[in-house]
Amino acid sequence: MSRDDDTDMQAKRRAEMLAVLRRRGIASEAVLDAMAQVPRERFVPDHLAELAYEDGALPIGDGQTISQPYIVALMTEAAGLGPESRVLEVGTGSGYSTAILSLLAGHVFSIERHDTLATAARERLEKGGYLDNVTLSVGDGTLGLPEQAPFDAIIIAAAGPRVPEALRAQLAMGGRLIMPVGSASGPQKLTCVTRDGEENFRTEDLAPVSFVPLIGAQGWQR
Ligand code: SAM
């Protein structure tokens, strides 16, 4: 297959993925438009490029995964981002959702605990031209980035036993934190926490999900 044929094929698959997301209830045109712009095949290992637009998670190394497109869309939509939003992402992984967030927000701070994944994500994001409003770091994202807080949205792409207190404290007033909460390998709920006041947090469940564990001082210990 020529490079042009391959690009056309991936564009067609991307359009089909967007149709699936719409059918599953993603209504934000801004989120769908951002997902239409990011070539997911560049964020998965080469041998899995053909599967890049299936609505599923895929392995990216170090026992980690790139999240399912529908879940990326759901979390991004729930975050309610605008062009001025400051976003903290915990779990850069492949960098795919970081790229999407960078198209919707003012600035994205993304933390990954695996050095190798963070390095590969940086290369992809740099190559794709996404780094102008993205700051990447390696470390324990359960502690957040207090020096950059407050954040209008915090998106955590790994499942913890509870919402980390450090992250709750770094939410701006009116800000939203989206994360899977539940057991490390069993049932989890995608949870949205909205900060309504200094000590006032509202919690709603969005969907049952299955994520890799959030490992850290305020996550699972390992
Ligand atoms: N959103 C990513 C993407 O688009 O590829 C997928 C993220 S993957 C499901 C979850 C990531 O969270 C993994 O890369 C894992 O190493 C990372 N992670 C787990 N605990 C973490 C922590 N405490 N701090 C930072 N990253 C963490």
Q: Is 185 part of a structural domain of the chain?
A: yes
Give the DSSP H/E element, type plus range, for residue 33: helix 29-37
Give the gyration radius of the chain's Cα atoms.
Answer: 16
Q: Is 104 part of a structural domain of the chain?
A: yes
76 Cβ below 6 A of ligand 1: no
Q: Does the interface ipTM go beyond 0.85?
A: yes
How far away, in angstroms, is 154 Cα from ligand 1 center? 13
69 Cβ below 6 A of ligand 1: no
Q: So which residues are the catalytic ones? A: 67
Q: Say which CATH number the domain at 69 has.
A: 3.40.50.150
pLDDT tens profile 64-108:
999 999 999 999 999 999 999 999 999 999 999 999 999 999 999
Least Cα distance to 41 among 127, 102, 106, 109 occurs for 127
127 is in which domain, residue-wise? Answer: 56-209
Task: Please tell me the total count of domains within the chain.
Answer: 1
184 Cβ below 6 A of ligand 1: no
Q: Is 66 part of a structural domain of the chain?
A: yes
Q: Is 27 part of a structural domain of the chain?
A: no
Q: Is 115 part of a structural domain of the chain?
A: yes
Confidence class of residue 7 from pLDDT cuts 50, 70 and 90?
A: confident
Q: Residues in the chain, how many?
A: 222
Q: Is 118 part of a structural domain of the chain?
A: yes
Q: Is 89 part of a structural domain of the chain?
A: yes
Look at residue 169 and give its three-state secondary structure: helix
Q: Are strands 86-90 and 107-112 parallel, antiparallel or unpaired?
A: parallel
Q: Is 121 part of a structural domain of the chain?
A: yes
